[in-house]
Structure 1
Amino acid sequence: MLRLPIQARGLLRAHRNSPLRYRHAPKPLTRPVRRGFTSSSTTFPAWSQFDRSDFTNQPWTGSYEPDLPTTGPLASAPAFGAPRVTPRTLKQYLDQFVVGQDRAKKILSVAVFNHYQRVQELQRREEENAELLAKRARREAIEHHPVEDEFPGQQQTVNTTPEIGTLPTSAQPGLDDSSELQLEKSNILLLGPSGVGKTLMAKTLARILSVPFSISDCTPFTQAGYIGEDAEVCVHRLLAAANYDVEQAERGIIVLDEVDKIAAAKVSHGKDVSGEGVQQALLKLIEGTTVQVQAKQERSAPRVGNSPNTFPSNNPLGNSPFNPNGGNMPQKGEVYNVRTDNILFIFSGAFVGLHKVIMDRISRGSIGFGQPVRGSALTNNRSRDHTPGNNEPIPILPGSEEEALYKKHLPFFTSATSPNSPDSEPTYFNALDLLNPTDLQNYGFIPELVGRVPVTAALSTLTTPLLVRILTEPRNSLLAQYTTLFSLSGIELRFTTPALHKIAANAFTMGTGARALRTELETILSDAMFETPGSSVKFVLVTESVAERNEKPIYLARGQGGRFHSMIAAEESKWEEKVRQEKAEKSKDKKAKTRPADELPPISSFREYRTQTAGF
């Protein structure tokens, strides 16, 4: 064995550790070693290689066609997302324009939402069927190849895909129905006194949904062939409101006002052409038919480029916006065919006297053999109290007979008034809330028409507090309208709180609902609107004395702004003190009624005992 000196061994070790030392490259392999990929069903050769740009013959690849239905775990998932508009948002939008009527707004919001969900689903099905038909046509064009021979012009085709034999139809037991689920529409009936917001709610919903909208009065309707308007006029007006866009008109809203005027007459000496005859004509429209409309420009229809009002550009429940300035201008003599299957019909009316029919049904008992007998005095009192001459509403208090009556005939009813919150607005008794389809038949409507209007919403009489809120709260309130009207002349108009309550109290006695508020304001401000424009008056104040019509509105010039605001503050402070005293008296009376027996003053006679403890 060769042994190197110690110095030589140190030099050799340093040479091996030096980075400048030359290293021989490893000898390359002639062929990389690969193992074959084995799955449960297929074994691939060792030369197979994964390439990101080539998925051919790979077990983890597949094909996808967007026209085919979704398969796999997502097959049961809905094809549509959450709606952008819900019944809750519709009611919140109605709250900005309509005060009170919470129960009616809920019913109307749900009914309109369900209807346009149905319309959207039908539109989606139509688009899907059209897409499938187009795809089938493309496949047939690919599978059938034209035969080319020596005969010019011959276009015979041959199917390149052989057909697979099927079993005879006689071998299949029974009949197979592959039709889709049909969604039926639910029309709406709004009933209540005049001026409570029936038409306003329908107009507001039509505005937010961006759909064509028309109102027709049922009073001049007569049976076809008689003098008067035909029932199909409502479809003509809807098409004119849509600027003769048939597709948009077929998804619009038709409001038939004063529908109670077409009730069948109790005693008829001839053919009822304005009652039952009109109901039969409306029955055909509601059920669904094709109405031929000849082009005729309506006077109230918006013209292209001249309409100042435009609806929003997007439909919250669909993808087809409605533009009142769009559509095609009608040509003279052109005929349009309008289907009424998807048109939402909203009936509205005051139905004077219907509360008597309802209370008569509720008050009936039985003594055997189906013989009717009058019930308790509650229903008789309700029928007497709800006469047109007596407008004072009856509150539904917890534990009262009215609450028991509502819980019996209405689902999930709870009284809005709590014993611990005396300032809350109570729920008032309304006999129309207890409506039954048989009541409408007894009123004079045919059963076929009543059965096709399943949704009913009753509106209550407006009370004085609600009228005060109507003056101030809505976006287009009367107070804001008149304030803006005076500001156009450079005049500031103000109302004190006592004046607003007095105006609402005077309007309540008129019996025309919220429309009486405008009558009151026009009466009070008529002189001010005549005298102040163009004068030195810069401030107009309406106080409680002015609302009582004891004096004219107070006029103040430009330099009297301090006096103007001091007069407002003085009257507001008096009103607050008055309200505070009334609340103290109410709480005192309530404590006196609920005071224990040991705290009562000494009783010296039976009459005092009967008055203090028995309450009579």
Structure 2
Amino acid sequence: MERGRSRLLSAYPFSCSVPTPSFASSLPSFVPASASSPRFYASSAPPGSFAAPPPRPSSARASSAAAQTASLDAAAKALCPQEMVEYLNKYIIGQAEAKRAVAVALRQRWRRRHIEDERLREDITPKNILLIGPTGVGKTEVARRLAKRIDAPFIKVEATKFTEVGFHGRDVDQIIKDLVEVAVKTQRTKLQEAMRPAAEHRAETKILEALLGKMPAEEHQQWLRHLRCGALDSRRVHVDFPARPNVGAASGGPAFDDGGRDSIVADLESIIRDIDRPRPAFFATRRGPRGSEARNLTVKEAREKLMQAELDAMITKDLVVQKALEAVEQEGIVFIDEIDKICSKGGRSGYNPDASDEGVQRDLLPLIEGTTVSTRYGDVKTDYILFIASGAFHCVRPSELLAELQGRLPIRVTLTSLTESDLRDILTKTQNNLIEQNTALLRTENVELHFTEEAVNEIARVACEVNASVENIGARRLHTIIEKIMEDINYAAPSMAPGTRVEIDLERVRSSVSSLLTKMDYTRFVL
């Protein structure tokens, strides 16, 4: 065996240099190097084969691995308000007051978590925010960009989608349930990324042991470099994958693939799937040792599948759920849009005749003040969730909200309408702006797109003029004008010669938007 392995080793000269970190150093800090390693069934597998690890049984919610993941990396998220505002300036033009308010509110939550006095910390609640301003000025974008920057559970909901308890429709508790669903998916992805190096190392070790058996550490490192360079990809191995009772279990149980639906409905659907499953196909998977499924795969295929099996064994449902619930309670952000549409003027409910608008406001009161919501994953306390509400308030005033709801939104920020200069900056100074997006899209057709400065100025002028004359929809007007200009170019781009340069100048802009301006003039005479 030793002579055969030596001959095989000499047949693969070293062609690349891949650093090989030690297994202990590649493990995340919250996973002990010796904890719950998947079992390797060498005795039941033929030479050149190995068994994939069975999924580890779910442990209690307060497991030791989960306890070590309780504290998030505060240093990575400890952005001061100035840094947060600088980040938002890359994507949003103007609205400095709104940026400052949201940045300070998030920093206050970070400060609260670092207070040592537990009793004092429990009494400090987030200061919720009410953003007031017309559509298209960046209300939603402020919250969305900041939530993405700090990697916090975030959900945006429309206030008009909910009804008072007792009416047909969704009640406001569904907001928290949907937020938890988002957090569960996010936390599982984050755990997979954190544990991937450890899972990859385990998979590579098992593949080498299945092919060549035990070997000295130095020789193991040499073969590991060959494996990572792809020299062994064509070799075949036998893998025994543990049979799973249903599709959901492959990713941590049915709780991970029923996004946002009611738990009772999800349970019923799971039962129906089990009843409808063809019995021969169900038993066909149980044909390996210990009810496993045997497969003959190449090393390249087995490496990826075994790494995923290792991840499934390392990441339990309880661990994911615990981290998700903690993230929602301590870092969750709920953005409630169109809150002015559930505000009745003079006692008239003009926006939602099927249910009481005032009733929806009353249902929101305990949610924003702090209550406990039961979800399929466990109870969630909303005391420390940050709520950001927004509305245009064209037909009603913020003072016409329920007095109790006004008190629960203590920070009020009024956003200003966008000027022509703001619209020009949106097209030129923001990251991933509309001009960059269209340029990148046409570059895939090997067509170069260029906007002149005069064309950009004209687009901003027309957008501002149409907003002032017809309906002010803010920066969203730029989408309409850009699409009108690009309509013919996008259609003809596939037939253009490679390397063609298309220039958008002042005349092209005026000819493209002339019909839009004509329609705008006609609307002045329509009653």
TM-score (norm 1): 0.45
Secondary structure at 1:501 match in 2: helix
Q: Match for residue 261 of structure 1?
A: 341
Secondary structure at 1:114 match in 2: helix
- Is 1:101 the equivalent of 2:95? yes
Q: Match for residue 157 of structure 2?
A: 216
1:113 to 1:272, Cα distance in 2 relative to 1, 3 A: farther
Q: Deviations over 1:463-522 (max 9, x none)?
A: 111101000111111111111111111111001111111111222213211111111111
Aligned residue among 500, 505, 511 for 1:543:
505
Secondary structure at 1:532 match in 2: helix
Q: Match for residue 194 of structure 1?
A: 135
Aligned residue among 328, 336, 340 for 2:382:
340
Q: 2-side partners of 1:351 and 1:551: how far apart?
A: 31
- Is 1:457 the equivalent of 2:413? yes
- The answer to whether the 8 Å contact 2:176/2:373 transfers is yes
1:533 to 1:274, Cα distance in 2 relative to 1, 3 A: farther
Q: Match for residue 446 of structure 2?
A: 490
Secondary structure at 2:340 match in 1: helix
2:511 partner letter: R
- Is 1:529 the equivalent of 2:493? no
Secondary structure at 1:489 match in 2: coil
Higher relative contact order (CA 8 A, sep 6+): 2
- Within 5 A, what are the aligned runs for 1:74-93? 84-93=78-87
Q: Deviations over 1:6-62 (max 9, x none)?
A: xxxxxxxxxxxxxxxxxxxxxxxxxxxxxxxxxxxxxxxxxxxxxxxxxxxxxxxxx
Deviation at 1:83? Answer: 8.6
Q: 1-side partners of 2:446 and 2:77: how far apart?
A: 46
Q: 2-side partners of 1:180 and 1:102: how far apart?
A: 29
1:257 to 1:269, Cα distance in 2 relative to 1, 3 A: closer
Deviation at 1:458? Answer: 1.1
Aligned residue among 178, 190, 202 for 1:237:
178
Q: 2-side partners of 1:228 and 1:181: how far apart?
A: 34
1:336 to 1:84, Cα distance in 2 relative to 1, 3 A: closer
Deviation at 1:456? Answer: 1.1
- The answer to whether the 8 Å contact 1:262/1:275 transfers is yes
1:269 to 1:201, Cα distance in 2 relative to 1, 3 A: closer
Deviation at 1:275? Answer: 1.4
- Is 1:279 the equivalent of 2:237? no
1:89 to 1:277, Cα distance in 2 relative to 1, 3 A: same
Q: 2-side partners of 1:549 and 1:266: how far apart?
A: 47
Gaps of 5+ in 2: 1-73, 185-320, 515-527
Number of corresponding residues:
294
Structure 1 or 2: larger helix share?
Answer: 2
Q: Deviations over 1:134-175 (max 9, x none)?
A: xxxxxxxxxxxxxxxxxxxxxxxxxxxxxxxxxxxxxxxxxx
Deviation at 1:268? Answer: 4.2
Q: Match for residue 114 of structure 2?
A: 121
- Is 1:477 the equivalent of 2:433? yes
1:117 partner letter: R
Q: 2-side partners of 1:214 and 1:551: how far apart?
A: 36
- The answer to whether the 8 Å contact 1:212/1:253 transfers is yes
1:196 to 1:524, Cα distance in 2 relative to 1, 3 A: same
2:97 partner letter: R
- The answer to whether the 8 Å contact 1:265/1:272 transfers is no
- Within 5 A, what are the aligned runs for 1:307-346? 335-346=377-388
1:543 partner letter: D
Secondary structure at 1:242 match in 2: helix
Deviation at 1:228? Answer: 2.0
1:81 to 1:485, Cα distance in 2 relative to 1, 3 A: closer
Aligned residue among 446, 455, 480 for 1:499:
455
Q: 1-side partners of 2:126 and 2:512: how far apart?
A: 55
Q: Deviations over 1:216-268 (max 9, x none)?
A: 11112110110222111211111011015211111210100111111134234
Aligned residue among 470, 478, 482 for 1:517:
478
Q: Match for residue 419 of structure 1?
A: none
Deviation at 1:108? Answer: 2.1
- The answer to whether the 8 Å contact 1:489/1:534 transfers is no
- The answer to whether the 8 Å contact 2:125/2:383 transfers is no
- The answer to whether the 8 Å contact 1:232/1:291 transfers is yes
Deviation at 1:278? Answer: 0.7
Q: 1-side partners of 2:84 and 2:155: how far apart?
A: 20
Q: 2-side partners of 1:349 and 1:223: how far apart?
A: 20
1:446 partner letter: L
- The answer to whether the 8 Å contact 2:129/2:389 transfers is yes
Gaps of 5+ in 1: 1-79, 127-177, 295-334, 355-438, 553-616
Q: 2-side partners of 1:258 and 1:454: how far apart?
A: 18
Q: 1-side partners of 2:403 and 2:328: how far apart?
A: 28
Q: Match for residue 608 of structure 1?
A: none
- Within 5 A, what are the aligned runs for 1:382-393? none
Q: Deviations over 1:330-363 (max 9, x none)?
A: xxxxx52111011100001111145xxxxxxxxx
- The answer to whether the 8 Å contact 1:221/1:274 transfers is no
- Is 1:293 the equivalent of 2:375? yes
- Within 5 A, what are the aligned runs for 1:53-92? 84-92=78-86
Aligned residue among 291, 306, 328 for 1:249:
328
- The answer to whether the 8 Å contact 1:468/1:504 transfers is yes
Q: Match for residue 135 of structure 1?
A: none
- The answer to whether the 8 Å contact 1:213/1:238 transfers is yes
- The answer to whether the 8 Å contact 2:484/2:512 transfers is no
Q: Deviations over 1:295-318 (max 9, x none)?
A: xxxxxxxxxxxxxxxxxxxxxxxx
- The answer to whether the 8 Å contact 1:472/1:479 transfers is yes
- The answer to whether the 8 Å contact 1:291/1:337 transfers is yes
- The answer to whether the 8 Å contact 2:349/2:357 transfers is no
Q: 1-side partners of 2:356 and 2:147: how far apart?
A: 29
1:283 partner letter: L
1:474 to 1:514, Cα distance in 2 relative to 1, 3 A: same
- The answer to whether the 8 Å contact 1:218/1:262 transfers is yes
- The answer to whether the 8 Å contact 2:481/2:513 transfers is no
Q: 1-side partners of 2:426 and 2:149: how far apart?
A: 21
Secondary structure at 1:548 match in 2: helix
Deviation at 1:81? Answer: 9.8
- The answer to whether the 8 Å contact 2:132/2:393 transfers is yes
Q: 1-side partners of 2:512 and 2:173: how far apart?
A: 52
Deviation at 1:272? Answer: 8.7
Identity, % of aligned pairs? 36
Q: 2-side partners of 1:82 and 1:500: how far apart?
A: 38
Deviation at 1:82? Answer: 12
1:82 to 1:546, Cα distance in 2 relative to 1, 3 A: closer
1:185 to 1:539, Cα distance in 2 relative to 1, 3 A: same
1:440 partner letter: P
Q: 2-side partners of 1:536 and 1:269: how far apart?
A: 59
Q: 2-side partners of 1:353 and 1:551: how far apart?
A: 31
1:81 to 1:486, Cα distance in 2 relative to 1, 3 A: closer
RMSD over aligned Cα atoms: 2.6
- The answer to whether the 8 Å contact 2:339/2:391 transfers is yes
1:242 to 1:551, Cα distance in 2 relative to 1, 3 A: closer
Secondary structure at 1:549 match in 2: helix
TM-score (norm 2): 0.53
Q: 1-side partners of 2:78 and 2:431: how far apart?
A: 23
Deviation at 1:181? Answer: 7.2
Secondary structure at 1:226 match in 2: coil
